[in-house]
Structure 1
Amino acid sequence: MGAGHGHDHHKVSADSDRRWLAGALAVIVTFLIGEVIVGIVADSLALLSDAAHMTTDAASIVLALLAIRLAARPATGRMTFGWKRVEILSAQANGLTLLLLAAWLGYEAIRRLFEPPEVHGALVLITALIGIAVNVLATWMISRADRSSLNIEGAYQHILNDLFAFIATAVAGLVIILTGWVQADVVATLIVVALMVKAGIGLIRASSRIFLEAAPDYLDPEQVGRDMAAREGVTEVHDLHIWEITSGSPALSAHVLVEPDHDCHAVREDVAHMLDHEHHIEHVTLQVDHARPTVIGIGATEPENHCGEAHGPRHVPRTHAAHTH
C-alpha cells in the first residue's frame, strides 16, 4: 500500500508540474512574438537580447516537459534506473544555452558600445514593462512546480533571469527617454549577461556533480559512514558509495561487517531504517557479512574477509578505533 501511494503521489506531482510548465510556455511564446517585432522596429539590442533569452526560455520549458515525460518511463531492459537522468541532461543543456547566449550577447553589447545605434526609448520602456508583467506571471507559474528537481530549476532560472533582464531593460528605456544616453541599452544587456553566466555555471556545476556520481551537497559521506558504524553489532563499514540517481533521489551502497554473534538481517534492517529516517536515503543496497573474530581483538590487523580492494575510507565504531590506536 505504501509503495502504491508513493507512485500515485509522484504521478500527481508530475502531472501538476506539466500543467504549470505548459501554462508558463503559452504565456512566454505569446509575448515573444510581439517582442521580436518591437525589438526590430526600435533597433534595441536589449529587447532583442530579451527576445533571444525568451526563446531559450521557451526551449528550456519544452525540454523540461520532454524530460518529465521520459523520466516517468519505467526501468526496463538496459535502462535499469529508467530515464530519470534525462532530467539532469535537460538541466545541463539549460546551463549551456545560458552560457552560449551570454557569450553572444556580451560580444554584441561590447561592439555596440563603440557603435551605438539610435534606440527608441519609449518603445523599449513600454515593451519592457509588459515583459516584466509576463515574466512575473511565468516565474510564479514555474515556482509552483517542484523546484527540487534540477530539471525544473533549470527552466526556472531561465525565466527568472529573463525577469531581471526586463527590469534592466525598462530602466535603460527610461534613461534613454530622460537623457538620450543610448548606451544605457548596452549596459542593461551586460547586466543580463552577468546574471546569465552566474545561473548557467550554477546549473552546469550541479548537474555535473550528479553525472560524476558525487554525493549530494546535503549529505556528508563521512558522517553517514560514522552513523552506520555506530549501530549495534556493526564492526566496520567500507566500500561506501553515495550518489544521486537524479536530483532529490539519493542512493547508497556499502559493505557492512557484523559481529559474529549478531543477526546480519536484523543489523541490515536497523542500518537501512537509520539511513531512511536520519539521512532520508531510501534507495539503499547493503552487503552484510559476519566479520571474523579477529576484527574484534585488540591490535587486530585487517580482517581476512575484507574486499580485495576497498574503495574509500573505512568506518569503524569509536571503541574499535580506540583499540586499533
Structure 2
Amino acid sequence: MGHGHGHGHGAGADDRRRLGVALGITALVLVVGAVGAVVTGSLALLADLGHVGTDVVALGTALAASALAARPPSRRRTFGLGRAEVLGAALNAVLLLGVTVWVAIEAVERLATPTEVPGGALLVYGLVGLVGNVVALAVLQRGSGGMNVRGAALHVLGDALGSVAVLAAAVVTLTTGWAYADTLASLVIVAILLPRTVALLRETGHVLLEGAPAGIDVDDVHTALLDVEGVAEVHDLHVWAINDRSPAVSAHLVISDEGCATADCGEHGVLDRATIVLRERFGLEHSTLQIEGVEHADHEQACEPPVVTVERGFGAR
C-alpha cells in the first residue's frame, strides 16, 4: 500500500530559467577572462578562468540535469529521472575539485619562480569578472536551492571569490610590486573552495548511496511509527531520497489485534494514521507502507522459492 505525490515542477522550471540566464552571463565572463589571461599571464586570473570554464560546463550540466529531472516516470524508470540532478551536482563537484587541485599545484610551483604580472590589466579583467559573477550568483540564489542549483552556484561563488582575489592581487602588485601577490591570491581561492567542494561531493555521494536525507533521523521515524495506534511492530524501514527535494520512506507495519489494516477504516486505519505522521512530522510525502498481521510477519520468507541442489554422480555432465 503506498501514497505517491508529485511536486516541485514549478520550482524545476524556475531553476531552469535561472540556470539559463547564469549560463549566458558566465559564458560572456569566460570570453573576457580568456583575453585577460592571455594579455596578463596572471595565474590568479588563469585560476579564475579555469573555474569559469568549469562553470560553463557545470551550468550546462545543471541545466540539462534539471530538464531530465522534469521528465515524468515511465515503466522503465518508475522514479523518473530525478537522480539526474544529483549526478549533475556530483559531476560539477568533481570538475571543480580537479581545477582546484591543479591551481594549487601550479601555485606551489610559482612560489619557487614568481612570474611578473601587469597590475593594471589584472585590475580591469578582475573587475569585469567580479561583476559578471555577482550577477550570475544573485540569479541562482533566488531559485529553489536544490542540490543541482547549489552545485552550480558553488562554481559561480568560486569565480566571484576568485575575482576578489584577482583584484586584491592587482592592488598589491600596483602599490608594492610584490611578485608573490598573484600566487598568494590563487592559494586563497583554493583554501576557500576546497572544503565546500568536498562537502558537496560528500552530499551527492550520500544521496547516490541511498543515505537518509539530512534532517531526518531514522530512529525517530521508527519510534513515531511504533507509536501509531494499532501498530505492534515496525521492520524493514528505509528512508532515502531520489534527490534533495524528494525524500521517500518504505516500511512494514505489523498491526496489533485491535488495529485495523484496511484502508476503509477512515481515521481509525493504521495506514492513514501512519501516513499522516510521516507527512506532518518528517515531511515524507512519498510513503510506501506494507500492512501485516502478526502471523504474517513471522512467515515473510515462506513464498521464497526453495533452493534446488543438483547432485552429480560419476560421469555426469
- TM-score normalised over the length of structure 1: 0.86
1:136 shift after superposition? 0.9
Give the AA of the match of 2:270.
V
Corresponding position of 2:162? 165
Equivalents in 2 of 1:186, 1:59: separation in Å?
25
Partner of 2:192: 195
- 1:291 CA displacement: 1.8
Deviations 1:162-207 (A, max 9, x none): 1111111111110011110121100110111122211221111001
User: Tell me, what secondary structure is at the counterpart of 1:242?
Assistant: strand
Query: How many positions carry a matched residue from both structures?
Result: 293
Partner of 2:130: 132
Equivalent of residue 298 in structure 2, options 300, 305, 311: 305
Alignment match, 1:65: 63
Q: Distance in 2 between the 1:232 and 1:255 partners?
A: 15
2:108 partner SS: helix
Letter in 1 for 2:285: E
Asked whether 1:153 is paired with 2:145, we answer: no
Partner of 1:268: 271
- In structure 2, what is the Cα distance between the partners aligned to 1:254 and 1:13? 29
Could you list the runs of 5+ residues in structure 2 that have no partner in the other structure? 263-268, 303-317
Number of the residue aligned with 1:232:
229
Structure 1 residue aligned with 2:17: 19
Deviation at 1:306, TM superposition (A): 5.9
Gapped regions of structure 1 (runs ≥ 5): 293-302, 310-325
Percent same amino acid at aligned positions?
35
Distance apart, 1:30 and its partner CA: 1.1
Highest relative contact order (Cα 8 Å, sep 6+), 1 or 2?
A: 2
Paired residue for 2:285, among 278, 282, 287? 282
Q: Counterparts of 1:104-119 in structure 2 under 5 Å?
A: 104-119=102-117
Paired residue secondary structure (2:10):
helix
Cα distance in 2 for residues equivalent to 1:304 and 1:40: 70
Shift of 1:307: 4.4
Asked if the contact 1:95–1:204 (Cα under 8 Å) also holds between the matched residues in 2, the reply is: yes
Q: Partner of 1:50 in structure 2?
A: 48
Q: Deviations over 1:300-320 (max 9, x none)?
A: xxx9626459xxxxxxxxxxx
- How far has the Cα of 1:91 moved from its partner? 0.6
1:74-112 deviation per Cα after TM superposition (whole angstroms, max 9, x unaligned): 111321111110111101001101111011111111111
Letter in structure 2 aligned against 1:289: E
Aligned partners of 2:235, 2:12: CA distance in 1, in Å?
37
Name 1:320's counterpart in structure 2.
none
Contact kept, 8 Å, 2:29 with 2:52, in 1: the verdict is no
* Aligned match of 2:311: none
Distance 1:34 1:230 in 2: 62
SS at match of 2:8: helix
Q: Partner of 2:306 in structure 1?
A: none
Quick one: which amino acid aligns to residue 116 of structure 2?
A: E
The verdict on how the C-alpha distance between 1:143 and 1:232 changes in structure 2, with shifts beyond 3 A counting, is same
The answer (yes or no) to whether the contact 1:95–1:199 under 8 Å persists in 2 is: no
State the one-letter code of the partner of 2:207: I
Give RMSD over aligned pairs.
Answer: 1.8
